[in-house]
Amino acid sequence: MKLPLVIVSLLNGWMLLGQSPTAAANRTNWFKISGMHCNGCASGIRSELRRTAGVADVTVSFTNKLAIVAYDTNSVSAKQLIAVIKEAGYSAKVTKAP
Ligand SMILES: [Cu+2]
At 54-73, the pLDDT tens digits run 999 999 999 999 999 999 99
The alpha carbon of 74 and the centre of ligand 1 are apart by a number of angstroms equal to 32
Domain limits for position 50: 5-95
pTM of the full structure: 0.76
For the chain, how many structural domains are there in total?
A: 1
Those residues with Cβ within 8 angstroms of residue 97's Cβ, 6 or more apart along the chain or in another chain: 28, 30, 68
Separation of alpha carbons 12 and 64, rounded Å = 16
Percent of the chain with pLDDT over 90: 73
Alpha helices in the chain, H assignment, sequence order = 5-18, 39-50, 78-87
Residue 43's domain is classified under what CATH number? 3.30.70.100
The alpha carbon of 43 and the centre of ligand 1 are apart by a number of angstroms equal to 9
Rounded to an integer, the average pLDDT of 69-95 is: 98
The alpha carbon of 37 and the centre of ligand 1 are apart by a number of angstroms equal to 4
Across the chain, what does the average pLDDT equal?
A: 86
